[in-house]
């Protein structure tokens, strides 16, 4: 009988990307995705989140009881926490069959087999990348949107971040390999790709071309059928004007920028070892907006970094007000074992951090809401979501009969399909009737629907051509679950 698997993903997009590879590898090895209780449960872990290890051992405890009821079930732990804690995992949770690291995802099927035959846990952690994960088979959640890794690892040493010690130095994939993967994805029905790297702006450092990222964006613009290109994460330190020009001059590169700020205080940035300053950051935003007036700019911010004063925090609020972010992932600083910042003096009391955090969130939300209201009355093109990770959202809202998708600037849009035949992966044009704090709403009739190859691919995957619409009054389909709650952006980048 075919063995089944389930992958539980924690942390950032890099882990989501790796999980797609893990799924692909397992399916190549003969496993099938589990509908119920799996024969193999894989935890793809994150070390960035607070209490990540406690949560992992809690989950592993639950997995042990599943395993006790299901002889032959295997449990594997991979990702950043596995890379960091290695042997600790099998000593604290001896029922785990395989521990594998971030550099050897490709070994998972062999390790599982070895564990089965030897009847003992297998731990294999490599210090350097063996095979670029993108070259491994993949099992994408979405048929029309895909992550494409352009680099792994990071050469920076931000003091709050564990990534460099777990993912290693930056390794860049050759542009030809990246573009070949994008072309293959497009041939497969994909219309949107997100180029992925811890610091996309330093792409090319390994092969000696500092303008490689801008060139890569322009080359993506030449790929027929590729409608939307996004990227994450850029680093303000390495952001150059040729990238802004490439974004503005390449029609399929979306008017959107998620650029981590982390702090608006130069002193705090220094202690974070983030080697840009607030004026440089604001200068990039100004030039992006001059080149792309409708670009939506979003960010990550950490509040309460050790030694952050009231004045430092005011500086962050000042940048937030000047930058007018479309949204922000906001984090309360907390110590991460293994990071340099964990040993810094002047760790702040929780109450101080909480009070600043609340003020920051209120400010960010108010600005985001105002920015969304500015879009009321505009026509926007929406790529209809199937709830895939890169698109988010996606459930048909039973109460309001709305569907969701993403605008070109990546804003989440809820719209009413009416009687129109709309499939995930198709493009619709709608008029925004209401800007809410975290999304846009169109309650007006759809202005146009464009059926796409991506919609065809989605339909083909459903394997049922008789159900073609998710519009009101039409037969309903089961749209996959939206973004798993555990999968959110991390504070890296």
- C-alpha radius of gyration, the chain, whole number: 23
- Using CB under 6 A as the binding rule, the residues of this chain from 199 to 228 that contact ligand SF4 are 199
Q: Does 156 bind ligand SF4 (CB under 6 A)?
A: yes
Residue 163 in contact with ligand SF4, rule: CB under 6 A: yes
3-state helix vs strand vs coil in the chain, percent to 5:
35, 20, 45
In the shown chain, the binding pattern of residues 318 to 357 toward ligand SF4, with x for contact by CB under 6 A and - for none, equals: ----------------------------------------
First to last CA, the chain: 43
- Encoded tokens for 70: 């299901």
With CB under 6 A as the contact rule, the residue among 161, 297, 412, 427 that binds ligand SF4 is 161
Identify which of residues 424 and 493 has a Cβ nearer to ligand SF4 in the complex.
493
Alpha helices (H) along 188-307: 212-220, 241-249, 266-271, 278-291
Q: Contact between 402 and ligand SF4 (CB under 6 A)?
A: no
Residue 80 in contact with ligand SF4, rule: CB under 6 A: no
**Please, what is the minimum distance in Å from the beta carbon of residue 281 to ligand SF4?**
14
Is 493 a residue that touches ligand SF4 (CB under 6 A)? yes
Cβ 157 to ligand SF4 shortest distance, Å = 6
198 sits near ligand SF4 (criterion: CB under 6 A): yes
Q: How far is residue 15's CA from residue 196's CA, in Å, rounded to a whole number?
A: 11
390-425 exposure pattern, b = at least 16 Cβ within 10 A, e = fewer = bbbbbebeeeeebbbbbbbbbbbbbbbbeebebbbb
Q: Between 199 and 388, whose beta carbon lies closer to ligand SF4? A: 199
154 makes contact with ligand SF4 (CB under 6 A): yes
List the one residue out of 105, 112, 50 whose CA is nearest residue 78. 105
Least distance from ligand SF4 to the Cβ atom of residue 347, Å: 19
Residue 266 or residue 355: which is nearer to ligand SF4 going by CB? 266
Binding mask 99-138 vs ligand SF4 (x if CB under 6 A, - otherwise)?
----------------------------------------
Q: What are phi and psi of 330, to 5 degrees?
A: -110, 135
Residue 154 or 432 having the CB closest to ligand SF4? 154
CB of 155 to ligand SF4, least distance (A): 8
Decide: helix, strand or coil at residue 174. Answer: coil
CB nearer to ligand SF4: pick between 325 and 331: 331
Q: Could you tell me where the DSSP H helices lie in 392-441?
A: none
φ/ψ bin of 183: left (φ > 0), alpha (ψ from -120 to 50), beta (otherwise)? alpha
Nearer CB in complex with ligand SF4: 262/442 = 262
Q: Which residue has the tokens 């293959």?
A: 184
- 134 versus 156: smaller Cβ distance to ligand SF4: 156
Contact call for residue 185 and ligand SF4 (CB under 6 A)? no
- Least distance in angstroms from the C-beta of 199 to ligand SF4: 5
Q: How many Å apart are CA 62 and CA 409, to the nearest integer?
A: 40
Tell me how far the alpha carbon of residue 84 is from its chain's centroid: 21
Cα(189)–Cα(167) distance, integer angstroms: 31
Quick count: other Cβ atoms within 10 Å of Cβ 339? 20
Q: Which stretch binds ligand SF4 (CB under 6 A): 150-158, 210-218, 301-309, 383-391?
A: 150-158
Q: Using CB under 6 A, list all residues that contact ligand SF4.
A: 154, 156-158, 161, 163-164, 198-199, 235, 492-493
């Amino acid at each position: 009988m075919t063995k089944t698997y389930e992958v539980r993903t924690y942390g950032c997009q890099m882990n989501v990307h790796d999980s797609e590879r893990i799924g692909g590898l397992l399916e190549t090895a003969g496993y099938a995705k589990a509908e119920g209780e799996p024969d193999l449960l894989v935890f793809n872990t994150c070390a960035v989140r607070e209490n990540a290890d406690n949560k992992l051992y809690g989950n592993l405890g639950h997995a042990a009881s599943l395993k006790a009821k299901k002889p032959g079930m295997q449990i594997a732990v991979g990702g950043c926490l596995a890379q960091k804690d290695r042997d600790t995992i099998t000593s604290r949770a001896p029922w785990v069959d395989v521990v594998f690291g971030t550099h050897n995802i490709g070994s998972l099927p062999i390790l599982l087999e070895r564990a089965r035959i030897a009847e003992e846990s297998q731990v294999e952690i490599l210090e350097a990348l063996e095979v670029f994960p993108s070259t491994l088979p993949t099992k994408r959640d979405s048929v029309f949107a895909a992550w494409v890794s352009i680099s792994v690892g990071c050469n920076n040493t931000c003091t709050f971040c564990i990534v460099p010690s777990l993912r290693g130095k930056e390794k860049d994939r050759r542009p030809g390999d990246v573009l070949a993967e994008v072309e293959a994805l497009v041939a497969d029905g994909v219309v949107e790709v997100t180029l992925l790297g811890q610091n996309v702006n330093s792409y090319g450092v390994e092969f000696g071309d500092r303008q490689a990222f801008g060139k890569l964006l322009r080359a993506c613009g030449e790929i027929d059928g590729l409608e939307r290109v996004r990227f994450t994460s850029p680093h303000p330190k390495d952001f150059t004007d040729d990238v802004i020009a490439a974004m503005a001059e390449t029609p399929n590169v979306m008017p959107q920028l998620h650029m981590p700020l982390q702090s608006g205080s130069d002193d705090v940035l220094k202690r974070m070892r983030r080697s840009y300053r607030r004026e440089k950051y604001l200068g990039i935003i100004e030039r992006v907006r001059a080149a792309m007036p409708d670009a939506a700019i979003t960010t990550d911010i950490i509040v309460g970094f050790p030694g952050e004063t009231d004045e430092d925090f005011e500086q962050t609020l000042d940048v937030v007000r000047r930058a007018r972010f479309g949204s922000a992932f906001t984090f309360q600083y907390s110590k991460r074992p293994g990071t340099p910042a964990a040993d810094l003096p002047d760790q702040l009391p929780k109450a101080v951090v909480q009070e600043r955090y609340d003020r920051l969130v209120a400010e960010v939300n108010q600005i985001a809401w105002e920015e969304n209201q500015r879009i009321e009355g505009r026509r926007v093109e929406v790529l209809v979501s199937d709830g895939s990770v890169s698109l988010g959202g996606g459930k048909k809202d039973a109460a309001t009969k709305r569907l969701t998708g993403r605008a070109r600037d990546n804003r989440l849009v809820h719209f009413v399909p009416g009687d129109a035949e709309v499939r995930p992966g198709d493009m619709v044009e709608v008029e925004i009737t209401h800007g809410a704090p975290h999304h846009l709403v169109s309650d007006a009739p759809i202005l146009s629907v464009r059926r796409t190859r991506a919609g065809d691919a989605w339909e083909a995957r459903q394997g049922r051509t008789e159900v073609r619409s998710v519009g009101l009054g039409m037969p309903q389909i089961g749209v996959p679950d939206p973004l798993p709650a555990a999968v959110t952006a991390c504070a890296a980048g």
